[in-house]
A = this chain, B = another copy of it.
């Protein structure tokens, strides 16, 4: 029983789809971005180890030295995609130092931004949440630092809001874990072609997160900075 032929054949069948993802970019645009777009699609479908450089290059209708001109190796391609998605999702709880709004107001905006980033980056997000085990320990550590900061910001806002009597929840850290789980595990079920359009999906999921921290308000509109978190 061989495992390789199946994914390769499947990949060839889907070459058109992967290439189409790259087509969205302007014709003369950075070829590096074309590689990343195709690689993201294949990494999402087959995982890091299940995707070969030949598959990526076949989808690009090019050869390996072309990819190696832009990237040192397969790891670098993967880490570039993963890092972008992680930064997009994990900076949602950052606010400028002079932002004087109440904690629960900031938290509401932060949760909305987090959910919007998870929906917009659900493919590349999967690489960070699902494929971590095959990554370089240094890169894993870098991702962990980013996540630690996110959790710190999130827990701070949660506890401040609770101290102000605006929120209700029990274990702060576990509630934060549960919140992140909802965004992170989306790779397993979400598809943009589903029942709800992305904006409605973000709103519905955000209202579930609100409920988890005992926040009564509804997510009103797209948060101001959500656009910046979307993929280019």
Interface residues of A (CB under 8 A from B): 1, 3, 6-7, 45-47, 49-50, 72-75, 129-134, 136-137, 169-171, 173-175, 177-178, 180-182, 184-186, 188-189, 195, 201, 204-205, 207-208, 211-212, 214
Contacts and interface: CB of A to CB of B under 8 A. Distances in A.
Contact of A182 (B3, B130, B178): B178
Contacts of A3: 73-75, 134
Contact of A174 (B75, B130, B181, B205): B205
A202 to B, nearest CB: 11
Contacts of A175: 208
Contact of A130 (B74, B130, B180, B207): B130
B207 A47 contact: no
Given A3-B75, A181-B184, A184-B181, A204 B171 contact: yes
Given A1-B72, A181-B182, A181-B185, A47 B171 contact: no
A180 to B, nearest CB: 8
A135 to B, nearest CB: 10
A211 B208 contact: no
B133 A50 contact: yes
A177 B194 CA distance: 14
Label chain A's interface by main secondary structure.
Answer: helix
A136 B169 CA distance: 41
B211 A134 contact: no
Query: Which of A1, A133, A212 has the most CB atoms of chain B within a 10 A radius of its CB?
Result: A133
Contacts of A74: 3
Nearest to A50: B134
Contact of A212 (B134, B177, B211): B211
A57 B50 CA distance: 22
A70 to B, nearest CB: 15
A130 B182 CA distance: 15
Query: Which of A72, A74, A189 has the most CB atoms of chain B within a 10 A radius of its CB?
Result: A189
A134 B204 contact: no
A84 to B, nearest CB: 19
Given A181-B182, A185-B129, A188-B184, A174 B49 contact: no
Which 3 pairs between the two chains have the least Cβ-Cβ distance? A181-B185, A49-B49, A185-B185
